[in-house]
Structure formats: C-alpha cells, structure tokens
Amino acid sequence: MSVTEAAPRASERAYRALRDEIVRWELAPGTVLAEVELAARLGMSRTPVREALARLVSDGLAVAVGGRGLAVAPMDLDQVRDVYEVRQALETHAARLAARRGDPGVFAALADELAATTTSADADPGHVAYYDLVARLDAAVDAAAGNPYLAAALAPVRTHLARIRRAAQHDPARLAAAAVEHRTIAAAIAAGDADLAAHATHVHLHHSLQHAVANVARTTQEPPA
C-alpha cells in the first residue's frame, strides 16, 4: 500500500543513499567515490554500487576525475546558473501544460495550503513542512503535465536544486516571498491561465536564482551551518 514502491533492489538502495548523501552535503563536492569503500559502507558488493554510480554520473551528480575514478560533482556559480536555465525551460513549460490539463481543484487546494503555511523558523526549524508542500506542488505539476519525458528530464534538475538549496541560507524573508510566488503559480494553474503560470514560474525562478547566487558564492565547498 506504500505510495512509493519498495523495490528492495540493492542498486536502487545504493543510488538513493548516495544521492541523498550528496544532496545533504554529507558527501561534499569533490569527495572521491571509490567503489570498494562505498560497497563496504553500504554493505553490498561492488556490482550494485557501480550501477548506482553510473546513474549519478548520468544525473550529473558525479563526474569523472582524471580519466579514472569518480568524485562528487563540484558546485560553482556557473553550474548553478546552468541548472537554473534548464529548470526554467522545463518548469515554465510544465506550468503551461499543467494550467491547460490540470485539475483546478488540486491546485486551488495547494494554493490555499500555501497561503496558510508558515515559514517561520520557530515553528519549523528545518522548514520540512514547507519544502514538503513545495515538493507536492512540483509533483502535482508533473502529474498534471502528464508527460513522462518531461518528468524524467526534470528529475535530475530537481535533485541538483535540492543540493543548491542546502548551500543557500533559508532566511525568513526569502522563504515568505517564495511562498507567495508558489501560491501565485498554483493559483494561476488552478485558473487555467497558462501564460500567467509560466510567467509566475519564470519570476519565481529568477528570484530563487538571485538568492541562490548571492548565498552560494561564499559557501561553495563547505555545507551550511
């Protein structure tokens, strides 16, 4: 009955574990990814680890270093800008499609939730509830777009974004503004206004990128405090 399939395959577990560790900066950019070490740490053989590493490379989360050996992909401002460019191209399009094809009720409900949610650090230190809500909006957009190729192209971009987000500081002012932007997007989709949904997404990504660039600049190697 679980929504996400169990899929207890070792290679899948390895992929998710490594991806999450990279996103959480537990594996910092530049960290070498040695197969034997990872296999030992994850309690499996090299074979599924190799498969997981291949997926990380295709996601752009791991890069070949020196022709031999892999490392966690570095993070610099150019890379952040590039990721946001692709994200803008795909998400504005997805927002358009969702506005045309989505169920208005779903997005109206999400807009209401976004209006009611709090972004204060006191109530929710990690902002898990807020980010979960945003993730649900993303998922609803993907589902409404109904395009598996779009979702597949967006998935690695979203993973990169999650890593970038950890480097940027979650200051309350930005979070409150982002909540309003997300609410605007959800409302536009609910209203079936494709242009507005696309433009609101563009605006949101612009502000998000500005904030990320300003904050990532000083923390390209070490995780946030």
Please identify which residue in the block is written with the tokens 């909540």: 179
Which residues sit at the interface with a second copy, rule CB under 8 A? 47, 50-51, 54-55, 58, 60, 79, 82-83, 85-86, 88-90, 92-93, 97, 147-150, 152-153, 157, 160
Q: What angle do CA 36, 40, 43 make, to 5 degrees?
A: 135
88 binds, among DNA, a second copy, none (CB under 5 to 8 A by kind): a second copy
Q: Two tokens at 187?
A: 């409302």
Of 125 and 148, nearer to a second copy (C-beta) is 148
Q: How far apart are CA 81 and CA 10, in angstroms?
A: 34
Q: Within a 10 A sphere around the Cβ of 135, how many other Cβ atoms?
A: 12
CB of 62 to DNA, least distance (A): 11
- Check binding of 33 to DNA (CB under 7 A): yes
In sequence order, what are the residues at sequence separation of 6 or more whose Cβ sits closer than 8 angstroms to the Cβ of residue 208?
Answer: 84, 178
Name the one residue in this structure whose structure tokens are 């490379």: 57
Q: How far is the CB of 61 from a second copy (least distance, A)?
A: 11
**22 forms part of the interface with DNA (CB under 7 A):** no
**Which parts of this chain interact with DNA (CB under 7 A)?**
9-12, 33-37, 44-48, 50-51, 66-70
